[in-house]
Amino acid sequence: MVLGPDGVLYGTAMGANGGRGCDDGCGSVFQLTPPTTQGGVWTEAILHDFTGTPTGDGNEPYSAPVLGPGGVLYGATLGGGSPGYGTIFEMLPPSSPGGSWTEVILHSFAGGADGTFPISVTLGPDGNLYGTTNQGGAPKDGIHNQGTVFQLVLQ
């Protein structure tokens, strides 16, 4: 989870079945808003439900989101995208209070040298995203699928 403005917590949940078909859910991005009075109840809101590979969306968000400038959230999904090897996504906050968040797929991993199954993402001091994939990458010493370290330049 990541702490945002006014004490709001942002997190991800992987989904119920963890499979590419996502029969029981592909995961979500959520926020927890603190209570207005001490000892009160936190309020949960789902910002995005992932739909998985058939739609080109991600599935199975693996790590906590990263908070960027302007309240934008960035994250990685272990699966989904096109062709199903995971995504890097951003969640744009609503333009007006009470509005909807907007998900944008920034990158769908293609496998091979591009990497597969991203497991982490962080925002660098230069304003770009950096992360790792669990598999893929160029063969090293004759061994395949050792993963990658990537940079995603943000506009």
Instruction: Categorize the per-residue pLDDT at 6 as very low, low, confident or very high, splitting at 50, 70 and 90.
Output: confident
Domain segments of the chain: what residues? 2-152
pLDDT tens digits, residue range 13-22?
A: 987 654 555 6
Cβ atoms within 10 Å, residue 62: 20
Residues 6+ apart with CB under 8 A from 102: 91, 92
Note the CATH architecture for domain 2-152: 6 Propeller (2.120)
pLDDT tens digits, residue range 25-82?
A: 789 999 999 999 999 999 999 999 998 877 889 999 988 999 999 999 999 999 999 8
CA dihedral 44, 74, 14, 144 (to 10 degrees): -170
pLDDT at position 85 over 80: yes
152 and 134 in contact (C-beta within 8 Å)?
Answer: no
